Structure 1
Amino acid sequence: MTRHEILPRPAPFTAAITAATAGVWMAWAPLASAQTEPGLVADLVEKTSPAVVTILATQEREAQISPEQWTFGPGSPFEEFFRRFGQPNSGERGSPVPRSEGTSLGSGFVIEADGYIVTNDHVVDEATNVRVRFHDESEFEAEVIGTDPQTDLALIKIDADDLPTLSLGDSDDMRVGEDVIAVGNPFGLGGTVTRGIISAVSRDINAGPYVDFIQTDAAINRGNSGGPLLNLEGEVIGVNSAIYSPNGGSVGVGFAVPSNTVEYVVGQLRDAGVVERGWLGVSIQGVTADIAEAVGLDEARGALVAEVVADSPAEDTLRIGDVIVGFNGAPVASSRELPKLVAAAAPDQDVEVEVLRDGREQTLTLRLGRLDSEELAALTPGSDQKQSGTASERLGATLSAVTPAAREQLRLPNDIDGVVITSLDGEGLAAEAGLRVGDIILQVSGTDVRTPRDVDTALQDLNASAALFQISRDGTRLFVGVRMG
């Protein structure tokens, strides 16, 4: 099955392979018809390649088990799972897992002449030793200055001066279709150059809320991780990080962290060794067309507050049901944008949040907190899948008050009161909107409901063509917009 994956580390290499491949240069030009000034790419490669390095990271890992030793065998549905997440212990229950030390290869580039080098977090993650090799075969031991798993970036440093460097370009200026070049160390083949175009920008590949990736068809493979994606000016406009592949090799769909994200993250790693992000303290979800109509928005935009975290900066200012349409002067077009805007703001500063509340927009001021790793879920957008509502015969749903028996059966906490959906007409409005049996209706268009009659009354009083339901599903509060005709 085709999948997207963070570029994995290659298997531990041997000295023979390293010696055989050292200094090999390869080029790939998928755009044979591209009109480029003769010698331009070659000149660019000659100029930039001295600043591109190979990263050799030593990690302690569990001993690998061959497919023949896997409990479920090769070809089973679990084979790919074990390849990606590790193999089960083949010994007896309780026996220790054998461990070995191996060296993995990645790529990086020098960003400051006094030894600072950018690479991927997953290249140096949990490494006991990191070494850097230049194109002239010189090697240096490196110190990990800091890592940021949320963007898959890392900054390391070697003890050297007057190194060749690469400068960061403006990734926001890059357009789909522009030529790019990737330089790196795929499969241990140092100094490999591939060429392609920018296939897409602002790609969401479900790799976290803080990066919209650049997509490219320049060949990116295992070992390219951390290497630069260059424009034809020789500027770094991305750091190669992930591929989308059915077989682990390049199929022309690669992803790079944009240089503007790199500049922000590396600057913080350089100064403090960590990345500090602002924290708002809300769980959010996307605004669908139905929700927009239900709350009075002219179009589907903004981020809907589904939950406010206790003891958070938002607790006394934002409310469940607010639609955040602006943050600190920047518009919030979708729920995907809000976490990046909040994270980029400095902790402990006052910010203005524009919200739609009770049908009118207003600006609120609050002081941001500091995001800890445990609080990431509170900034991550909720599901943007199609959402919807519930009610009585009008909605094609059978409703029941939350009785003690229902509470016990559904394992509901004592603070959840509402109306439970016990059955659905598959062609009714509730089912069409995406509601499920077992959903608990908490509110209808801002009105708390405790009985089926409360739901009917709230719908009768509705002056809009859609109703906004707040529900509880599997312990998570969600808003659902339901068209009423």
Structure 2
Amino acid sequence: MVARSRLPFLILLALLTALAGAPVLQAQAPAQAPAPPAAADAVEAARQAVVKVRAFVSGEARTARTLGTVREGSGVVIDADGLIVTIGYVILEAMGVEITDHRGRTMRAEIVGYDADTGLGLLRATEALTVKPAPMGRAGRLTEGERVAIVAAGDDGRQAALMVQRREFAGYWEYMLDEAVFVSPPHPRWAGAGLFTSDGRLVAIGSLLVGQVAPGVPVPGNMMIPIDLLRPILGDLLALGRMSTPSRPWLGINVQEAPVGVVVTRVQPESPAERGGLKLGDIIVGVAGQPIRNIPEFYRRLWARGDAGVEVGLELLESSGPRALKLTTGDRRRYMKAGQSY
């Protein structure tokens, strides 16, 4: 077994070799053979299940300033009735969505649901899609160094990549995944792109471009959301457009890690944080009497307090000393000005 301390070097070596166009070797493993014709055919079939997604958002939407009013990405057809999974931020607060299939047909799509915890969104085509749905695999079965394909909409949307790591990801916008998928080289059109195994199974959905694909590996990559996260929530999204369980406590802030605790880098207007007196530049060092050292610890302590609407005590670090602040959390879903279709 390869020592964990050597993995960053081995991953970097494999990625640099791949980028140079040479055959890639897995550490302490035989060289991977070229993909057989059956595997190439499977990924090509999966490519046909990838559609272009274009969403139109009102200028008054909460996310209009940061995400824009016209957003584009990809989505993957996952059932025979035209159900499409995509990255949620493309369709968040959208008043209208259209999709374009692999044949170039453009049609309207309805928003089925959105889940803030996973970041996934669902659409349904309003016309029949003559395409075989992409079969869903399991991201949890991916191995480091495994060859995969990132597929975005368009004839030039397919790109070979390596699965680098599965690890925790904490975003600055009150978002965290216990296990995200990191791949490289990054796809230039990552939003909503499908990640497929060599046998054409969908295992993740493209979310972000990251500067370091793994700790200690100075190579860019994509962070992707495991499709495994869709299975437990699919029934609720189809029936309700959202999760049936109560939402997590939400403040409406962006944060980044500080030498001690986390620092507030943005406070959303009319958010629980703004109403409670939290300000740009405030340093949060504790939640409900428990110290925090980093972003994941901050989120876990916040979310452990109960459901959205619970009162939370924060400990702030100021030049004059520590200060306690109590505020009532909110529901992110209700804060957003969602479209009428979900």
Larger RCO (CA under 8 A, 6+ residues apart): 2
**Secondary structure of the structure 1 residue equivalent to 2:230:** helix
What is the aligned partner in structure 1 of residue 204 from structure 2? Answer: 238
Q: Residue 51 of structure 1: which of 34, 49, 52 is its match?
A: 49
Structure 2 CA distance for aligned equivalents of residues 105 and 164 of structure 1: 23
Aligned ranges for residues 146-295 of structure 1 at < 5 Å?
146-159=113-126, 160=128, 163-185=131-153, 189-206=154-171, 207-211=173-177, 212-222=179-189, 224-245=190-211, 252-277=220-245
- Distance of 1:209 and 1:124 partners within structure 2: 17
Q: Distance in 2 between matches of 1:265 and 1:340?
A: 22
Q: Within 2, Cα distance between the matches of 1:181 and 1:378?
A: 44
User: 1: CA distance between counterparts of 2:130 and 2:185?
Assistant: 30
**Deviation (angstroms), 1:282:** 12
Which of 22, 29, 36 lines up with 1:32 in the alignment? 22
Per-residue CA deviation, residues 139-162 of structure 1 (Å, 9 max, x unaligned), is: 221000111233321101113266
Tell me which amino acid in the other structure corresponds to 2:23.
Answer: S
Shift of 1:178: 1.6
Q: Is the 8 A contact 2:97 2:110 kept in 1?
A: yes
Matches of 2:158 and 2:176, distance apart in 1: 28
Question: Whole-Å Cα distance in 2 between the matches of residues 339 and 44 of structure 1?
Answer: 44
| Structure 2 unaligned blocks of 5 or more | 1-17, 25-31, 213-218, 252-285, 328-342
SS in 2 for 1:475: strand
Unaligned runs of 5+ in 1: 1-28, 63-83, 87-100, 284-304, 308-319, 323-333, 343-367, 384-434, 441-472, 478-485
Alpha-carbon contact 2:98-2:107 (below 8 Å) kept: yes
Matched residues in 2 for 1:214 and 1:221: separation? Answer: 17
Q: Determine if contact 1:227/1:239 at 8 Å carries over to the other structure.
A: yes
Deviation at 1:341?
Answer: 9.9
RMSD: 4.1
Which secondary structure does the structure 2 equivalent of 1:112 belong to? coil
Distance in 1 separating the partners of 2:225 and 2:205: 5
Residues 78, 135 of structure 2: 8 Å contact kept: yes
- Paired residue for 1:112, among 79, 83, 95? 79
Determine if contact 2:248/2:303 at 8 Å carries over to the other structure: no
The SS at the match of 1:254 is strand
1:475 paired to 2:291: no
When normalised by structure 2's length, the TM-score is 0.60
Distance change (3 Å), C-alpha of 1:474 and 1:238: same
Q: 1:208 to 1:194 in 2, by over 3 A?
A: farther
Paired residues of 1:154 and 1:266 also in contact (CA < 8 A): no
Q: Does structure 2 retain, via aligned residues, the 8 Å contact 1:200–1:215?
A: yes
Matches within 5 A, 1:322-333: none
Q: Distance in 1 between matches of 2:194 and 2:80?
A: 16
* Distance apart, 1:57 and its partner CA: 1.9
Evaluate the alpha carbon distance shift between residue 166 and residue 199 of structure 1 in structure 2; reply closer, same or farther with a 3 A threshold. same
For residues 196-251 of structure 1, give each alpha carbon's deviation from its aligned partner in whole angstroms, at most 9, with x where no partner exists: 111221232425444232111032224x31121112222111100111259xxxx6
Shift of 1:58: 2.7
2:112, 2:157 → 1: CA distance?
27
TM-score (norm 1): 0.44
Q: CA deviation at 1:47?
A: 1.9
The whole-number CA distance in structure 2 between the counterparts of 1:437 and 1:59 is 42
Q: Which structure has the greater CA radius of gyration?
A: 1
> Could you tell me which residue of structure 1 aligns to residue 330 of structure 2?
none
Task: Say whether the 8 Å CA contact 1:135–1:191 is kept in structure 2.
Answer: no
Q: Quote the offset at 1:132 in angstroms.
A: 1.3
- Per the alignment, do residues 476 and 176 of structure 1 end up closer, same or farther by CA in structure 2, a change over 3 Å counting? farther
Paired residue for 2:106, among 139, 142, 161? Answer: 139
Q: Say if 1:182 and 1:218, in contact at 8 Å, map to a contact too.
A: no
1:153-197 C-alpha deviation (Å, 9 max, x unpaired): 110111326641112222222222222110003xxx555111111
Residues 409-458 of structure 1, C-alpha deviations (whole Å, 9 max, x = no match): xxxxxxxxxxxxxxxxxxxxxxxxxx876335xxxxxxxxxxxxxxxxxx
What's the CA shift for 1:340?
12
* CA offset digits 1:376-408 (Å, max 9, x no partner): x969xx89xxxxxxxxxxxxxxxxxxxxxxxxx
Change (3 A) 1:58 1:280: closer
Distance 1:273 1:60 in 2: 20
